[in-house]
Amino acid sequence: MANSSSSSSSTSMKLLLFMVPLVIVMVLALFFHGPSVSTTLVLNGKHKFSSSSNNNNNSSSSLFSNNNGGSDDVMLTKEEKNKTMAISDEYSPPTLHESLNKNEVDLNMSSKPWQVNESYYVPLPPLNESHVVPPKKEFSMLDRIEAGLIQARAAIKEARNWNQTQDPDYVPLGPMYWNAKAFHRSYLEMEKQFKVFIYEEGEPPVFHNGPCLSIYSSEGHFINAMEINEQFRTRDPQKAHYTMMVKFVYKSDFDFGPIKRTTIDYINLIASRYPFWNRSLGADHFMLSCHDWGPVISFAIPNLHKNSIRVLCNANTSERFNPTKDVSFPEINLLKGSIDDFVGGPSPSQRPILAFYAGRNHGPVRPILLDHWFNKDKDIQLYKTLPKGVSYYSMLRKSKFCLCPSGYEVASPRVVEAIYTGCVPVLISDHYVPPFSEVMNWKSFSIEVSLKDIPKLKEILLSVSPRKYIKMQRRVGQIRRHFEVHYPPRRYDVFHMILHSVWLRRLNIKIAKNSITPSSSPSSSSLFINNGDDNKTMHAFDDHHMSFFNNLSYFSPPALSLPEQYNQTEVVDHDISKTWASSAPLNESYVVPQRKFSILDRTEAGLLQARAAIRDARNWNQTLDQDYVPIGPVYRNAKAFHRSYLEMEKQFKVFVYKEGEPPIFHNGPCKSIYSMEGNFIHAIEMNEQFRTRDPKKAHVFFLPFSVVMMVRFVYERNSRDFGPIRTTVKDYINLIAGRYPYWNRSLGADHFMLSCHDWGPETSFSIPYLYKNSIRVLCNANTSEGFNPTKDVSLPEINLQTGTIDGFLGGPSASKRSILAFFAGGVHGPIRPILLEQWENKDEDIKVHKYLPKGVSYYGMLRKSKFCLCPSGYEVASPRVVEAIYTGCVPVLISDHYVPPFSDVLNWKSFSVEVSSRDIPKLKEILTNISSRQYIRMQRRVDNIRRHFEVHYPPKRFDVFHMILHSVWLRRLNIRIYDD
């Protein structure tokens, strides 16, 4: 037992002596080596960039490693990756999706030593005793700044997949922006993060100062606003995303030497006092200049020109302006130091001048413009100097287009002046990059004209349709906020837009502690976004198709959701200028996926449903109706008409403008030959079924003026001067166009006027859009005078001498009508003299009278006659048509170019006779050729359609009031109105 015990003890001692050194060696190995972290970014399944904390690997000192630069990182299979991720749960890194859901980037390494994308992998550290890395990395302030930019890039990329963020001040939306949601998210991220450090070195007036009351006022305003800003300015340069060099240098001679030396001395000073210029070679610094010589000043130091952001008014790509890193900002001429009294302008209908320009003749563009158009065309008004007493801004407000030719530099203050006054700017320039082009789609609200197209200027402007111009002018008003100057600055104004442009450029680069790498470059050693190929970059932006949000290639977040062709392409060369040059921006990117439909959208959807129901009506049985079911050959399509009428009753809404006072407005005659004017106006104003008080819900808009009342109270008798009437109509439409958006939205296409006076068409000529676009409800429906049956409505002329139809309705049967044809009336107009000459006292069967004999009843004669002759008078319409229908007499329409009432629904040939003026001599032959059988049918049909011409108080279904509304409803079904 003793030996056994001794042997066991000896074995234990040997085992202990063997294990202790082994444990010590393992502990020392772990202690001296420490965890070495290596990460690899995987995009689209291929090895793109890699970074490592191993400082011995010189090829990976930057975030981006050249694939040919000797990086030791390799792609792992799924099984190998799973093995390498065998790290304790305590240090399990969250996915990028999880961290973004938290809306933050966690830099507290005490709990999470790695914050990585789920595409990253963290391999187990190799044994390398010669290199020691502490287990917990110390993150610098720059690391934290860059981490915040990672988060911002990811948020911007994901913006298009989410609903628009609510904003109490303004929510960007519409085709004025390349990508409205991405811009909005970027702007909010800028407000949350962006910090600018301003070097304090330098003294006024050359530094920390600038002009505020001149054509270069943007310089002084931005410098002053930035210096007093508390939101974006930081006093700690360690926390800055960008550093601003504040200077203002200008001399009247052309010796750039002193200016360049001042710039060189200043940058040498700040480079010696601070580490930031040398850290990035100026890539996170920006200068600002609105002077023509701004680009020349930047050439003083190569790195200032090549690397730094140059915020310039003179954004000329032919002078090495690079839109991928430089910023174009607007030239604003604030002679009074503020924009008071300069902002705002009238609607398009109040702009009689097609195009306007006034300015000096200098630079390469203006002489060509003046040579071609100065005093050559009244529609294009060009001035070198405005006549005395003519206001420059009033001319802008009278003009549809404002010509903005380049001067000595490509930019022009007229661009902003046009935007301020609601005038569509016409950019006449080559090589110009308009302000904020990375955000704004300038083609949606301006015209770009090259030098070679100046001779075609009028042709280009006239090719812009009125509908398109209205859209452009409305968009000018919407983007105006981005060009306004305020004290203090307001959100989304020009100050904030300049900062946002600088912020976007900062998002494009990655600043490391000892190096800088543009996030769009594939090489860690490449400093320049375009790899030095300036010409290629400039050419890519000649068309200004710039969309930062669709094409930024960021280094960490998931790839941006691009069109299919982008995702199929290997993104190795991240020169974003190539991507922009090869594709047009996504103009539909502003559409919100979960769209909120406007009231107009819902209105148009209802009309779409109505159209479908009307088309399908002929395939179904007639809908039952307790009052009346249209049927028979008196209708072109009885089923379609009935369905259309029922849809009208269900949907149709009319907004009556409240503006105007009686007797000219909201009033009309009710007891005369023009009684339909007053009857309709009064009926629609009192109607509760079709009239709406909410204009947003209206299908059409009624202009409640009476031409008869204007003739009575405005027109000077026997003068034949329509000027006062036209002026009244023009003033009224200008009034409602200024107070409501609906006239300009459709150029009057969903508006209608009503007139039974001969001069109704003449009145509509007051406003071209009223004549061309609006629905004109006219008694004088004469196609030879511009009446268009596809959009205009023929209105029956009803002579209500007593104000009602009582006592006028009804007549005997055909067998009790002894007179073949009858007419009595004054001799006026072109047709009645022919009729009277041919038939007055010439035939016993055709009774034609100028005046009835004493004691003979007019309506008694109508009831004794088979046919009632209805010749045109001064106008093509005649009240005898409705008088014949009322008394059961078949009407004979003797007219040329006349469109009978409700012809879109009624088949007039089935119950009337149409005779042209040249066939008047054959009148008896035409009437006697109608057989008795055919006549009885026609006379019965006259009785069937009479209800459509009856006037009732209040109106009854299918009567003349409802038939007029139905005709307007049909025209509204033929058009589509858009919000924009």
pLDDT tens digits for 91-123?
333 332 333 333 333 333 333 332 333 333 333
The dihedral sign for the CA sequence 775, 777, 783, 789: positive
| C-alpha of 841 from chain center | 68
Residues 6+ apart with CB under 8 A from 88: none
How far apart are alpha carbons 338 and 769 in whole angstroms?
Answer: 37
Q: Which residues of the chain are under the pLDDT cut of 50?
A: 1-8, 27, 29-134, 246-253, 518-594
- DSSP for residue 123: P
Contact (Cβ atoms closer than 8 angstroms) between residue 86 and residue 124 = yes
How far apart are alpha carbons 441 and 277 in whole angstroms?
Answer: 34
How far apart are alpha carbons 647 and 637 in whole angstroms?
Answer: 15
How far apart are alpha carbons 263 and 301 in whole angstroms?
Answer: 8
- Single-letter amino acid code for the residue at 227: E
* Cα–Cα nearest to 673, from 574, 578, 795: 795
Contact (Cβ atoms closer than 8 angstroms) between residue 960 and residue 967 = no
The dihedral sign for the CA sequence 82, 88, 90, 91: negative
How far apart are alpha carbons 209 and 946 in whole angstroms?
Answer: 83
Q: What is the pLDDT of residues 668-694, one digit of tens each?
A: 888 888 999 999 999 999 999 999 999
- Single-letter amino acid code for the residue at 467: R
Q: Which domains does the chain have, with CATH numbers?
A: 141-184 (no CATH), 194-328 (no CATH), 353-483 (3.40.50.2000), 599-648 (no CATH), 652-794 (no CATH), 819-949 (3.40.50.2000)
pLDDT for the residue numbered 201 = 86
Phi/psi at 446 (nearest 5 deg)? -150, 170
* Cα–Cα nearest to 450, from 435, 433, 431, 424: 431
Angstrom CA distances, 620 to 78, 606, 624, 935, stand at 64, 20, 12, 32
Q: What is the pLDDT of residues 164-203, one digit of tens each?
A: 777 888 888 889 999 998 999 999 999 999 999 988 888 7
pLDDT for the residue numbered 40 = 30
Contact (Cβ atoms closer than 8 angstroms) between residue 212 and residue 224 = yes
pLDDT for the residue numbered 345 = 87
Give the pairing type, strands 242-244 and 196-198: parallel
How far apart are alpha carbons 174 and 479 in whole angstroms?
Answer: 10
pTM equals 0.47
